[in-house]
């Protein structure tokens, strides 16, 4: 039998989800219809997909992406700071503010191996006015397909006092090596699902969205932070010059590798634009789907609810 406290939490989540249903999308975005995506996908034969701008077999993409993140794991955070001039930290702070977790939240953070989102979740709970209510136990599962990324996250957690902070707010933490398209988790087991800078690397984003819907409880919230499409023509041209001319060189200088960062900028261009991704989230069954552009659309936060 569910506890009264958990019942109150689920009720709160459901009521908040209804409030969000009344909100309009935060940005009009650039309208790219589904027909355009279908036309783009038709460029690939059955069993083929993209790895950046390269055509590969679907079964090859996962191993290629795995190798990319295995190679960059140790320098991942350093390169994030360099490439975004530290702005990625602000994006992730805003992302967590959108989630606004309360004690009792059970979060699954997918593709979060180094812990950036999960650690913010714990710190948000600690700084929340309701953090004194430690009768409600919270939980976060940090999931990633790449064990190297998880290893970095565990080291950061130990060195940064994250586990102690989690204990102070009655929040349990576990780590899960798993494929976002095939999560070894029961149905309706979390009331929040986050995925940051990960879904564009998955072979089948629609399967990730289906898994998110499956593991969320009714009233649960899906939040995605991902690189997106800059809408202003002039800013997009400047962004493209920086992305293709500077970032790979930066990767070579800072991390000793340029190919993973060439893939990075190419993968961003292959990912659906804001409106198109919104339609994909709705097709997975989510409702009250909205998005907000950050930094002129360099990244976007997409939100949806399982109702």
In this prediction the pTM is 0.82
pLDDT at 110: 98
CA atoms 80, 275, 208, 11: torsion sign: positive
Strands in 199-263 per DSSP E: 216-227
Spell out the per-residue pLDDT of the chain, length 307, in tens: 334 444 444 444 444 444 445 433 333 333 343 444 444 544 555 667 765 667 767 667 777 676 766 776 777 778 888 899 999 999 999 999 999 999 999 999 999 999 999 999 999 999 987 766 668 899 999 999 999 999 999 999 999 999 999 999 999 999 999 999 999 999 999 999 999 999 999 999 999 999 999 999 999 999 999 999 999 999 999 999 999 999 999 988 887 888 888 888 999 999 999 999 999 999 999 999 999 999 999 999 999 999 9
**Spatial contact of 107 and 141, defined as CB atoms under 8 Å apart:** yes
The reply to whether 75 sits in an annotated binding site is no
CB-based contacts of 44: which residues, under 8 Å, 6+ apart? 50, 55
The reply to whether 174 sits in an annotated binding site is no
The reply to whether 179 sits in an annotated binding site is yes
Phi then psi for residue 271, to 5 deg, are -80, 145
Distance of CA 207 to the CA centre of its chain: 14
pLDDT at 260: 83
Strands in the chain per DSSP E: 48-51, 54-57, 106-110, 138-144, 171-177, 190-196, 216-227, 287-294, 299-305
Sheet containing 287-294: give its strands across.
171-177, 138-144, 106-110, 190-196, 216-227, 299-305, 287-294
pLDDT at 78: 82
The reply to whether 187 sits in an annotated binding site is no
Length of the chain counted residue by residue: 307
């Amino acid at each position: 039998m569910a506890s009264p406290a958990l019942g109150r939490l689920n009720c709160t989540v459901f009521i908040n989800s209804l409030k969000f249903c009344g909100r309009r999308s935060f940005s009009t975005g650039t309208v790219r219809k589904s027909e355009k995506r279908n036309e783009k996908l038709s460029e690939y034969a059955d069993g083929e997909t993209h790895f950046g701008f390269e055509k590969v077999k679907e079964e090859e993409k996962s191993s290629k992406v795995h190798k990319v993140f295995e190679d960059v794991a140790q320098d991942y955070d350093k390169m994030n700071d360099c490439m975004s001039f530290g702005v990625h930290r602000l994006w992730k702070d805003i992302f967590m503010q959108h989630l606004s977790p309360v004690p009792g939240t059970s979060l699954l953070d997918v593709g979060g191996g180094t812990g950036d989102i999960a650690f913010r979740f714990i710190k948000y709970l600690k700084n929340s006015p309701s953090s004194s209510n430690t009768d409600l136990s919270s939980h976060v599962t940090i999931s990633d397909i790449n064990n190297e990324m998880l290893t970095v996250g565990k080291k950061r957690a130990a060195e940064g006092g994250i586990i102690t902070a989690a204990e102070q707010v009655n929040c349990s933490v576990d780590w899960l090596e798993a494929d976002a398209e095939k999560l070894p988790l029961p149905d309706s087991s979390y009331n929040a699902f986050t995925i940051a800078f990960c879904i564009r690397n998955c072979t089948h984003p629609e399967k990730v969205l289906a898994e998110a819907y499956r593991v969320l409880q009714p009233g649960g919230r899906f939040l995605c932070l991902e690189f997106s499409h800059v809408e202003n023509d002039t800013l997009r041209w400047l962004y493209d010059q920086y992305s293709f001319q500077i970032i790979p060189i930066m990767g070579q200088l800072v991390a000793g590798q340029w190919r993973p960062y060439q893939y990075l900028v190419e993968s961003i261009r292959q990912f659906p634009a804001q409106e198109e991704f919104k339609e994909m989230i709705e097709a997975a069954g989510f409702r009250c789907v909205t998005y907000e552009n950050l930094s002129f659309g360099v990244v976007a936060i997409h939100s949806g609810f399982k109702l």
